[in-house]
Amino acid sequence: QVQLVESGGGLVQPGGSLRLSCAASGSISSIYVMGWYRQAPGKQRELVADIRNDGTTNNADSVKGRFTISRDNGKNSVYLQMSSLKPEDTAVYYCNADVRTLRGSRNDYWGQGTQVTVSS
């Protein structure tokens, strides 16, 4: 089994910053991609940013220049540094990992989500 645990969400004013963290643990052989998704009420879950095991990143247009994704392979962790936050960034943020398990299978795993609220 693989577990992802997020932390760092909370309430922040517009223009503020927040850093999300996610740590994966369990039967992990390797992690190909780690990413952050978000979902607002009544909307589909959308990709915010992801990062491959070679370090290449992909960012949603709405967050380019404001958010930075990074990972620490030794800790099986991924981070999202969020700056210049806007009210439209309000959502539940989910960590995702594309994992090769010790059993040889490849699966997506999701964290439980952490609430980010941007409001004055």
CA atoms within 13 A on the CB side of 21: 7
E strand or H helix that includes residue 91:
strand 91-101
Q: What is the pLDDT of residues 93-104, one digit of tens each?
A: 999 999 999 999
Q: What is the pLDDT of residues 27-64, one digit of tens each?
A: 999 999 999 999 999 999 999 999 999 999 999 999 99
Q: What DSSP letter does each residue of 49-66 carry, written as one string? A: EEEETTS-EEE-GGGTTT
What pLDDT, on a 0 to 100 scale, did the predictor assign at position 47? 98
Whether residue 85 contacts residue 65, with contact meaning beta carbons closer than 8 Å, is answered with no
What is the rounded average pLDDT for all residues in the chain? 97
What pLDDT, on a 0 to 100 scale, did the predictor assign at position 58? 97
Q: What percentage of the chain carries pLDDT values higher than 90? A: 99
Instruction: Categorize the per-residue pLDDT at 92 as very low, low, confident or very high, splitting at 50, 70 and 90.
Output: very high
